[in-house]
Amino acid sequence: MTTGATTAPGAVPPARDLGERDEAFIADPFPCYGALRASGPVHRVRLADGRAVWLVVGHDEARAALVDPRLSREWVNASPDYAGPVGPAGPGRSAIGKHLLIADPPDSARLRGVVLKAFSRSRVEALVPRIRRATDEVLGSFEHDGHADLVADFAEPLVGEVVGGLVGVPLLERDAIARWTHELAHPEDVEQEVRAAAALTAWVERFAEHKRRHPGDDLASLFAGLARDAPDALVRDEVPAMVFLVLIAGYRTSVHFLTNSLLALLHHPEQLADLRADWTLLGNALEEAARYDGPANTTTVRFTLAPVELGGVSIPGDGQPVCIALSAANRDPSRFPDPDRFDIHRNTGAHLGFGRGGRYCAGAPLARALGAIAVRSLLERFPDLHVEPDATADRHPGLLFRGLRRLPVGFTPRARPRTL
């Protein structure tokens, strides 16, 4: 295991500039993570907004940090230097109320139980026909063109149909939801982030109240029903927050998971050929994609409730902010030999692309089902699918999510049906 330089208890070393807004980092952060990890598994880094965080880049240390009860998700425990003025600043500090990503025990366990029920195996299995229909419809919309952008033409509308339908978002309002979740995940500036948070918050509050009065067969109605029938499971003012969380996490991570996985396969033709020859490899191929280039670059920020030692580094217990770099941990050579190689035959056990333990992504079953159906359907329909020769990986900036702005591809168009 890689070890870092030991710091004295209570000592706070100078922060290193992470440079996450630099073009090179946005396109490929893994050399930066590798250089950090080579000198230790935990570092204090300065972000683009000027604030400093402790960044965990080692695999063993990340696994430990993900389940450490001394690392709080609640902003009330943040150090004043990091928290700044009280007020909304995106999903982490939204005025929408408490949800799973910003809750500690016992609330987190209670809320997690609600989310696990929402994404139970039976509920996900029941969604498979809808996912297949939506995939066929989306593929049919561009199959005669010979070219497409797999972000705008494939992943975005497919996820909008599946996740929007799952939550119960009316069809005519899904474009607005997609726009607001995009602006929250990848804001151009703080003003855009605050506007999007306010717009989505207002919409979700109206929507949750409507579902309370007029329930249907969807997640928003499930949440509202739990609040009505089982007050110990979900209180009424938590329903909008839970809908907010599912929309943010469901839309953005699903789009990025699909497109990152497809890019990895298309950039590794020998691996893609193995997959086409044996579709039983698809499940492991998606797990390897989550390890190699997952949709979550880092976790949301945590705050120390007590001193924490990780990899020989002592982090003070005064609300110090800690981020766990999942992407870095998944490329740690101490856990994954030759980690920068994409290999669908690899043993992907212990990858952290979906988190771990009580912090494991409750929506992972849906992401896997959607990925398996969408990726296979796309690759089978277009046997010669390829990334356009002049295309470059155009990535969104930002530390939390890792995703593509666009993924232009070409293929042999399917013949249009003759009309009489």
Q: What residues pair up with 148 in beta bridges, in sequence order?
A: 409
369 close to 128: Cβ distance less than 8 angstroms: yes
Q: Is residue 96 part of a domain?
A: yes
Q: Is residue 8 part of a domain?
A: no
pLDDT recorded at residue 358: 66
pLDDT recorded at residue 77: 93
pLDDT digits (tens, 9 = 90+) for 11-53: 678 888 888 888 899 999 999 999 999 999 999 999 888 889 9
CATH of the domain at 246: 1.10.630.10
Q: Is residue 361 part of a domain?
A: yes
Q: Is residue 357 part of a domain?
A: yes
Q: Is residue 3 part of a domain?
A: no
Residues sharing a CB contact under 8 Å with residue 125, sequence separation 6 or more, in sequence order: 369
Q: Is residue 163 part of a domain?
A: yes
At which residue do the structure tokens 């920020």 appear?
301
In degrees and rounded to multiples of 5, residue 156 shows phi and psi of -60, -55
Which stretches in the chain have pLDDT values below 70? 1-11, 84-97, 230-233, 358-359, 419-420
Domain that holds residue 253: 16-410
pLDDT recorded at residue 111: 85
At which residue do the structure tokens 């797990």 appear?
287
Total domains in the fold of the chain = 1
Q: Is residue 4 part of a domain?
A: no
Q: Is residue 288 part of a domain?
A: yes
pLDDT recorded at residue 91: 40
